[in-house]
């Protein structure tokens, strides 16, 4: 019995280490995102339809540019820089489209939402990095 207890004490840390980590969050569909924005920004039906189109385009672009971990590791610095610039161009284009769709008050609230969303994303990324470094 004593031997079983000792073996159990040695195996317990292995079970704790083997627990799955936090998984990547799935991005909601463009329709769900638009509904959430409608609630937060009080959008009209016309605005909601326009935003769904913008979000669908963004989703398609994200899927087209998706790379596996191995593909990312093999990229040269120049290619990484090109991808970074392309991503920033997409963000700028989306921001301009949102500014044309939303009125001034809605646009200000949307920008605040995006800042908050970015901060939350950074917190999650830091948390995941901290777990990985343990």
Residue 37 has pLDDT above 70, yes or no: yes
Report residue 70's pLDDT band, with 50, 70 and 90 as the boundaries.
confident
Which pLDDT belongs to residue 133?
A: 77
Which pLDDT belongs to residue 102?
A: 93
User: Are residues 121 and 70 in contact, defined by beta-carbon separation less than 8 angstroms?
Assistant: no
Report residue 126's pLDDT band, with 50, 70 and 90 as the boundaries.
confident
pTM: 0.68
C-alpha 71/C-alpha 78 separation (Å) is 14
- Residue-averaged pLDDT of the chain: 83
Structure tokens at 10: 């040695």
Phi, psi of 32 (to 5 degrees): -65, -45
Q: What is the DSSP string of the chain?
A: -HHHHHHHHHHHHHHHHTS--PPPPPPPPHHHHHHHHHHHHT--HHHHHHHHHHHHHHHHHHHHT---HHHHHH--HHHHHHHHHHHHHHHHHHHHHHHHHS-HHHHHHHHHHHHHHHHHHHHHHHHHHHHHH-
C-alpha 128/C-alpha 124 separation (Å) is 6
């Amino acid at each position: 019995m004593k031997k079983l207890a000792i073996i159990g004490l040695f195996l317990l840390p292995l079970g704790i280490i083997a627990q799955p980590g936090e998984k990547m969050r799935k991005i909601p569909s463009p329709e769900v995102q638009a509904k959430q924005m409608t609630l937060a920004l009080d959008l009209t039906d016309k605005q909601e339809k326009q935003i769904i189109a913008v979000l669908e385009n963004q989703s398609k672009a994200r899927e087209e540019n998706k790379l596996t971990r191995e593909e990312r590791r093999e990229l040269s610095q120049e290619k990484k820089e090109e991808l970074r610039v392309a991503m920033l161009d997409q963000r700028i284009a989306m921001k301009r489209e949102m500014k044309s769709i939303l009125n001034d008050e809605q646009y200000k609230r949307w920008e605040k939402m995006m800042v908050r969303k970015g901060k939350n994303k950074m917190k999650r990324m830091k948390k995941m990095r901290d777990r990985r470094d343990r």
